[in-house]
Structure 1
């Protein structure tokens, strides 16, 4: 709790920082957290996200904290956007977001603030020990970590932490305010778009893993509904990719059968020519309708060529060597390669938005 700051500004002229806490029906512990942060010299902004009148005494006990209010509950994502917009307008150059449910200690909040102050353009994640979480939280966090690494090629130890140090720069601020998501999915959107928002990367700071009966009672996370929204962020490109792939498959399947049965009579040349035709269609649709401008031909070809080799090898083995019917084997082989293609192209599209090692996720002790 040392290293006191006045008005959130470091004595060495470092960035002006503050703490942002979205709160919906908070418990009594919120006032103690705010008091200790204020005593440490960190300004605190609390967003009352449409809490009932029964919670009003808690907000009245927050002392020097600025309290912003939503007339009705609009979700954690909207509360974060409201707070970020306010703090940016007040001249803050970075915010540390913390939860109101008692899961973040003042010491850990200050450590994340120190890390953000030391590198004012990186996103800082307060990373918990997932092995010490309750079973429900451990399972959900573990699944999102695996999916995030698979789809984005980034290893993060804690994808659901609410303790984050967020730089407010000319590059990041507009994106933070425009990110989709009004609820808990907003935080996953921030990670999914972090390469574009925070080109300096992501840093991990180890924090305590705090779960108590009080924090469980205050938490408003709904595992099924909120969880589905989080997974929808991870797979947001999948529906359009599915349509693009179905179109490419139809083109490929038609071209293959025409070339194999009517022109060439040989499976491998027919598969190669059909894949070139369908790949041209697939690339253009993916670039303009699925992944956007960061998607480019060089990366696509690096993915297409290994898949083409695998496709031809399996077709040759199953059709030419084993004599199985080509019209049946072709869709089975393509279906098996579909998931590999989606994961590879999604990771490639994200990778083109960042330089190497931007999202390191390296743990740091402050």
Structure 2
């Protein structure tokens, strides 16, 4: 189940209109001594995200229109599977995920199939309040019971997966709001994947505008509970995956 030695790691960066930040984020990751490969999935951006990412040294996968983080990550997982990567890790294009913590999150795969970089695990000073905090606490407690281990940040997008985790994601990785974090994690656990977390620090967004505003925060609680209930109704996946035939025109 575990994979202590990772030979080829793909960093997947879903990016939507992140032209001001993605270039620096790519360069920071490429500067790491671990020498990661980077795939930026341009999620139908209307700015120069794709061009900036490519100029910084990333491989760029262009989606024809905006699919959301879930759709972008599905495309990234398919790319990783077809190119034989041993592990993948999602890193935000806006620079909030510190590249030095990539190796820390990947290390969690020595004992699990999915490793979460947790913002609320006694490291850093990242905080949330109001409905968003209540939702995160409720989700963490509920999913911890499912996983059989303590998880404090189940909505974190800073997470890695080994080949077993990638195979499960290929069979089921939703594109719905919160589905890419809550739904995907619940189904992975119910399908037999082992999940762990490691503490990480979050940085300020390097450029652009945060995606969450007061209105979104107010409805976060309801949507997160709905996402959890919906995930619990899904059938667990069987961890066997066959790649579809790729047609080349």
TM-score by length of 1: 0.53
> Tell me, which stretches of 5 or more residues in structure 1 are unaligned?
1-11, 239-289, 294-366
The CA distance in 1 between the partners of 2:139 and 2:158, in whole Å, is 21
Q: 2:224: which partner in 1?
A: 230
Q: What is the Cα deviation at residue 224 of structure 1?
A: 5.2
Question: Is 2:135 aligned against 1:140?
Answer: no
Task: Considering Cα pairs closer than 8 Å and 6+ residues apart, tell me whether 1 or 2 has the greater RCO.
Answer: 2
**Match for residue 145 of structure 2?**
153
- What are the ranges of 5 or more consecutive residues in structure 2 without an aligned counterpart? 237-249
Matched, 1:44 2:38: yes
Does the alignment pair 1:91 with 2:84? yes
For 1:128 and 1:104, locate their aligned partners in 2 and report how far apart those are by CA, in whole Å. 10
> In the alignment, what sits opposite 1:129?
120
RMSD value, Cα = 3.2
Q: Which residue of the other structure, out of 79, 101, 104, is the alignment partner of 2:97?
A: 104
Q: How many aligned positions are there?
A: 224
Aligned equivalents of 1:89, 1:46: Cα separation in 2: 16
CA 1:177–1:183: 2 relative to 1, 3 Å: farther
Q: Decide which structure has greater strand share.
A: 2
Partner of 1:220: 211
Compare CA radii of gyration and give the structure with the larger one: 1
Q: Compared with structure 1, are the counterparts of its residues 227 and 81 closer, same or farther at alpha carbon in structure 2 (3 Å cutoff)?
A: farther
How do residues 28-67 of structure 1 correspond to structure 2 at under 5 angstroms? 28-39=20-31, 40=33, 41-63=35-57, 65-67=58-60
1:156 Cα offset (Å) = 1.4
Task: Pick closer, same or farther for the CA change 1:234–1:174 going to 2, 3 Å.
Answer: closer
**Aligned with 1:100: secondary structure?**
coil
TM-score (norm. length: structure 2): 0.75
- 1:5-34 residue CA offsets vs partner (Å, 9 max, x unmatched): xxxxxxx96442111110011143322221
Q: What is the Cα deviation at residue 235 of structure 1? A: 2.0
User: 1:173-252 counterparts in 2 under 5 A?
Assistant: 173-199=167-193, 201-212=194-205, 214=206, 217-221=208-212, 222-223=216-217, 228-236=222-230
SS of the residue corresponding to residue 153 of structure 2 reads coil
Report the 3-state secondary structure (helix = DSSP H, G, I; strand = E; otherwise coil) of the residue aligned with 2:12: strand
Conserved 8 A contact 1:22-1:76? yes
Deviations 1:40-78 (A, max 9, x none): 310011100010134454234331x11001111110000
Instruction: Give the one of 4, 8, 15 matched to 1:16.
Output: 8
- Structure with the higher fraction of residues in helix conformation: 1
